[in-house]
Structure 1
Amino acid sequence: MANLEEPSSALTVTSSSNLSTESSSLPAAADAGNSLEVASLTRLSCNLDRLLIESDFDYSDAEIVVDGVAIGIHRCILAVRSRFFHELFTQESSPAGKLRYEMADLVPGGRIGKEAFRVFLGYLYTGKLRAPPPEAAICVDATCAHDACSPAVNFAVELMYASSAFQISELVSLFQRRLLNLVDKALAEDVITILLVAFRSKLGQLQNHCIQRVARSDLSSITLEKEIPAELANEIRSIRRNSQPREGDSLDADAIHAKRIGRIHRALDSDDVELVKLLLSESGISLDDAYALHYAAAYCDSKVVAEVLELGSADIDLKDGRGYTPLHVASMRREPAIIVSLLRKGASTMETTADGQNAVSICRRMTRAKDYYAKTVQGQESNKDRLCIDILEREMRRTPFAGDEAVTSPAVDDGLCSNLLYLENRVAFARLLFPSEAKLAMKIAQAETTSEFTGISASRSSSNLREVDLNETPTTQNKRLRSRMDALAKTVELGRRYFPHCSQVLDKFMEDDLPDLFYLQKGSADEQKIKRMRFCELREDVRRAFGKDKAECGRSGLSSSSSSSSSLKGDSKSKATRK
């Protein structure tokens, strides 16, 4: 029995050791398998991406026309990724050439631009969602954080339309969350844009959030009536009525007054200014009572606006319930002919809204960088958005401080201070990284003739009394600081126009790294070392960006100097080391 048991015991030991060896190798094998799968999927994603971005791999068998541009697609990929495209393509017989579709026909309820559609296609092909191209998702306001301005909101809305219309559920969930985050930060007018996509895409949570935000806003009932579906407008009005109950007599009087104003507005819609004059005389309501000029600037053509102005009885700078003048309204609409008509009649470009925006800053906040910096082709119509900004800026230069004396409170507000500090830091780093170009830009913008802003609190402290001009009135101080801000904003604008790639690098730096990197000498030795390394990375990013700008633009003027490449290797390095 002993002899029989020994082999059995030996087998038992051998078997257990083999099991132990096999079990220990399982995690390693699983990790290797996972790594191989990840590498394989990554390679597949990159290869499919080449179908979209490389012209040598154009094997597309259909086209979708977006904004007048034909974008090639591969039906086999889109059909397996989207039920919408699968059903669309099964309805088509095999053509002799490429099938061609119009985006307006595929998505009749909303607009999808070509930049947003390319980002969407990239996800369908690769499974990865690219960052939006900056020129299509940021505005041209140098002081804007670009997190909730009109171009940023519109780009997210376009991607939501694409995700919903083409039935990609995971993207619908993603962009619903993004838009929910934008609702409380965006302008009320942009919330309407979000509300419309939520309504058409049947996104109840997003729709309800937008309705509550619009109900709390100061958007007029006229705006609700003109720009959103009746059922949504009625729900918003109901919320407002419940939150602000009024007496019956007052309600009746308001209804009669609103009815008379509505007749005047409908006459304006009909381009019948003679009927407007008749209604004014019969009702005893003035153009200003009806905010007729505001209405015409928002919804009528330039001919009607000019005719209303010729009546001569409207206050050109009258502010409505939201604090907007007719020029503010026209700037939001971005119609050059209407802006010019108002300016010719003496509309002030210096009037500001309740949140401190003037006409040109409103226009800038709503204009995409792509549209503003687009090259103007000789013989073709100029971009309307850029033309509006140029007209308003020329008028501001002609009467730079015409409206300052009319400001009721001459004290410097926090918004002006924060904008100035941002611009000072932005220009300071531009001067550090490419000094000659920045100096030339500042010279053109006449920034060197204004005094540097170091902060209101610092200038008012007791330790800096020798630097404070005790004879300077608040109004004079306000003029001085606004002059500095205008000059710095112009400097940044010139940099964006002539060095777009460099400006993108600086924008990202100002957003991500400025608080930690601005003071290189602060912190421990290891922290300072990390900051210097990050600064060197920034310097290399700017050097490469400068090379792109110089190669692509080939312009004279600001780009004629080559100090960036030399300064990045010399001056900036020594400055970073000293710090």
Structure 2
Amino acid sequence: MAHSAEPSSSLSFTSSLSNGSVNHNMCTSYGPDPGLNLDVISLSKLSSNLEQLLVESDSDYSDADIVVEGIPVGVHRCILASRTKFFNELFKKEKNSSEKEGKLKYFMSDMLPYGKVGYEAFNIFLGYVYTGKLKPSPTEVSTCVDNACLHDSCRPAINFAVELMYASSIFQIPELVSLFQRRLLNFIGRALVEDVIPILMVAFHCQLSQLVTQCVDRVARSDLDWISIQKELPFELSENVKLLRNPKKDVENDDPPVVDTICLKRIIRIHKALDSDDVELVKLLLNESDITLDGANALHYAAAYCDPKVVSEVLSLGLADVNLRNSRGYTVLHIAAMRKDPSIIVSLLSKGAFASDLTFDGQSAVSICKRLTRPKDYHTKTEQGKETNKDRICIDVLEREMRRNPLAGDASISSHTMADDIHMKLLYLENRVAFARLLFPSEAKLAMDIAHAETTSEFAGIYAPKGSNGNIREVDLNETPKMQNKRLLSRMEALMKTVEMGRRYFPHCSEVLDKFMEDDLLDLFYLEKGTREEQGVKRKRFMELKDDVYKAFTKDKAGFSGTGISTSSSSSSLRDSVHYKARKV
């Protein structure tokens, strides 16, 4: 659904003609029913004339204001009352007070028993009530700020359709309810399961059984965890999901294992303590059982549902892995990005959360934020003395953190290009780490040990051992695409952490490697290849590289003097070692 080019809906007073246009030559024809053409022309003119009541700001004949998101929208009670039963009943209550009080004022928040209808959505709805034509959705509120997104199933597109559904249902325009139900049905198969939740909620409140059934089925078939389902959905809906996930079995197998039940109860108690902002109780519960914060995904839960200060207090305990993934492959920072709370995001980053970590489908925290943010919110200017634009802060903070690591890049790419992008990044990282092991063996080993890079399957870079099965282009018939992506992402994250450790503890060595990789000097390690002149140039450049390596090693070693970190494990004859290894390669 490309909103920028979305055609007007066929739901119109003039639906028999495209866009309400009229062929005036038809009026003089001697067709079988010339009166029909006159009706169409009359309805088209009436629609255009009524539209002027909404767009003409010079002559305001409205007799009431409906305040939406703090903005008064002038309406004509006679038109609304004649078009919808809801407004007819509403205005009857104020019929005798209009002359005494002047122009009446109504607040959208008071009219909605549930849900939300924003300013732009109400204007689209109002336009249909007046003219019988449904205008295209404004791009500033129905698209996201991710340039790679098609906007056919991102959260802003879904939320805007949900708002229009609420307005159509609550204000009782049945033909619009039918239209938006079809539109929301189209989202279900394409959207992330998190984005199906608002569709399910509007279907539940508007009593749209077909939409409810399909949404419940989608949630039941997803990997959304049970605790999130119970937290996000009303009891009735969560029970329907539970029934689909766990159909009735034999009586003997009906009850879950006792150990799992006890474990789940303990986890729920920890979550309830977090809900109560009682971190001291959390500590007590941890001491009384063998459940850990990581085992309970406590940090994920707090980042999703609790007050930001609770997240900070849990972090201060130092008992949780800030980069832990939950069962769906989301880190705590991914969850915080979904919530879009800058204070939580900054707290996590300050404790070492990796902004470059990707979900299993290739999304980073910043791309998640972008997919949730409307252009209207992102580009809103902050006025002095008013609350800062949180949507922009979240994206800016995460982008700034990504720029600190040039290897991180922007993961907001389509699934079709993600695999190739991963291959390119892995090739770069494996080659960089391979040359680090070649030029600075002990320093590279230390960085890899800290990042646990040796425990992940190796990509066949230039330094891959012979017989290695780490070539990502090889096909493993027992490995699904999801399993392969998970394995490659795990390897890439380990290598990224290796490079980060190298930059932190061996900055001068890292500078040499940066220059080495940027200048594309890999061919230097094949000194016997090429013509005599080419070999001479390579040998000269290689001698310069040896000097750079030795100087960098000396500087980093001097930087560690007086500390407890030993650098003696690197060969003292580094120049000869590098030269020997180059010949060997």
TM-score w.r.t. the length of structure 1 is: 0.65
Query: Contact 2:144–2:151 (CA<8 Å) still a contact in 1?
Result: yes
> Which residue number corresponds to residue 571 of structure 2?
none
Structure 2 gaps, min length 5 = 1-26, 423-460, 465-470, 473-487, 493-585
Corresponding residue for 2:214? 209
Aligned residue identity for 1:161: Y
Which residue is 1:282 aligned to?
Answer: 288
Q: Structure 1: which amino acid aligns with 2:150? A: A
Equivalences for 1:234-313 in 2 at 5 Å? 234-242=239-247, 247=253, 251-313=257-319
Q: Alpha-carbon deviation of 1:252? A: 2.2
1 CA distance for matches of 2:46 and 2:420? 47
| Contact 2:50–2:131 under 8 Å retained in 1 | yes
Is it true that 1:152 corresponds to 2:165 in the alignment?
no
CA positional deviation for 1:36: 2.8
Q: Given the alignment, which residue of 321, 327, 333 partners 1:321?
A: 327
Q: Deviation per CA, 1:310-352: give whole Å up to 9, x if none.
A: 1101111100011100000000000000000000001001111
Once residues 325 and 212 of structure 1 are traced to their aligned partners in structure 2, the CA distance between those partners, rounded to angstroms, is: 26
Q: Does 1:345 align with 2:347?
A: no
Query: Residue type matched to 1:304 in 2?
Result: V
User: Which secondary structure state, in structure 1, belongs to the residue aligned with residue 247 of structure 2?
Assistant: helix
- 1:464-509 CA deviation, whole Å, 9 max, x = no partner? xxxxxx969989xx99xx9xxxxxxxxxxxxxxxxxxxxxxxxxxx
1:123 has 2:128 as partner: yes
Say which of 83, 86, 96 aligns to 1:84. 86
Tell me the residue number matched to 1:170. 175
Matched-pair contact (CA < 8 Å) for 1:143–1:419: no
Indicate conservation of the 8 Å contact 1:50/1:57, yes or no. no
1:362-420: per-residue Cα shift (whole Å, max 9, x none)?
0000101111112232332221111100010001011232699xx9xxxx973337999
Change in 2 beyond 3 A, CA 1:472/1:49: farther
The match for 1:6 is: none
Displacement of 1:31 in angstroms is 5.5
Q: Quick one: distance in 2 between partners of 1:212 and 1:27?
A: 55
| Alignment partners' CA distance in 2, 1:116 and 1:104 | 14
SS in 2 for 1:100: strand
2:192 pairs, out of 182, 187, 198, with: 187
Q: Secondary structure at the match of 1:63?
A: strand
Q: Name the CA distance, whole Å, in 2 between partners of 1:126 and 1:151.
A: 26
Letter of the 1:351 counterpart: D
User: Hey, what does 1:101 align to over in structure 2?
Assistant: 106
Asked if 1:331 is matched to 2:334, the reply is: no
Contact 1:64–1:102 under 8 Å retained in 2: yes
- Check 1:396–1:371 CA distance in 2 against 1; reply closer, same or farther (3 A cut): same
2:105 is paired with a residue whose SS is strand
State how far apart, in whole Å, the 2-side matches of 1:30 and 1:383 are. Answer: 62
Quickly say closer, same or farther: Cα 1:54–1:27, change in 2 above 3 A: closer
Relative to structure 1, the CA distance from residue 157 to residue 400 in structure 2 (aligned partners, 3 Å threshold; closer, same or farther) is same
Contact 1:348 1:403 in 2 (8 A): no
Match of 2:50 in 1: 48
8 A Cα contact 1:351 1:403, kept in partner: no
Residue number in structure 2 paired with 1:72: 74
Q: Distance in 2 between matches of 1:146 and 1:418?
A: 23
Cα–Cα, structure 1 residues 151 and 419, in superposed 2: closer, same or farther, change >3 Å?
farther
2:399 counterpart (393, 400, 410): 393
Q: CA RMSD in A?
A: 2.9
Question: Which amino acid is 1:184 matched to?
Answer: G
Give the Cα–Cα distance (whole angstroms) in 1 for the partners of residues 360 and 194 of structure 2.
Answer: 15
Which consecutive unaligned segments of at least 5 residues does structure 1 have?
1-24, 421-469, 483-579
Equivalent position amino acid for 2:79 in 1 = I
Write the distance in 2 (CA, Å) between the matches of 1:86 and 1:249: 54
Structure with greater helix percent: 1
Is the 1:49–1:125 contact (alpha carbons within 8 Å) kept by the matching residues of 2? yes
Tell me the distance in 2 between the aligned counterparts of 1:243 and 1:323. 29
Q: Provide the rounded CA distance (Å) in 2 between the counterparts of 1:147 and 1:118.
A: 22
Query: Is 2:365 the counterpart of 1:363?
Result: no
Per-residue displacement from partner, 1:16-71 (whole Å, max 9, x unpaired)?
xxxxxxxxx99715554333322222121111111112202311111111111111
Distance in 1 (alpha carbons) for counterparts of 2:349 and 2:407: 15
Quick one: which of 57, 61, 64 aligns to 1:62? 64
Q: Which residue of 1 aligns with 2:201?
A: 196
**Is the alpha carbon distance of 1:294 and 1:243 closer, same or farther for their aligned partners in structure 2, counting shifts above 3 Å?**
farther
Percentage identity across paired residues of the two chains: 58
2-structure distance, mates of 1:59, 1:151: 34
Report the secondary structure of 1:80's partner residue.
Answer: helix
Note if contact 2:80-2:87 (Cα within 8 Å) is conserved in structure 1: yes
Over 3 Å counting, the alpha-carbon distance change for 1:272 and 1:220 in structure 2 is same
Residue 218 in structure 1 maps to residue 223 in structure 2: yes
TM-score for both structures, normalised by structure 2: 0.65
Amino acid of the structure 1 residue aligned with 2:337: S
Aligned pair 1:137/2:142, yes or no? yes
Q: Which amino acid aligns with 1:113?
A: G
CA drift at 1:255: 1.3
Q: Secondary structure at the match of 1:110?
A: coil
Distance 1:243 1:146 in 2: 40
Q: Amino acid of the residue matched to residue 69 of structure 2?
A: D
SS at structure 1 position matched to 2:97: coil
Deviation at 1:100, TM superposition (A): 1.0
Contact 2:381-2:389 at 8 Å conserved across structures = no
2:142–2:160 CA contact under 8 A, matched in 1: yes
Conservation of the 8 A alpha-carbon contact between 2:361 and 2:415: no
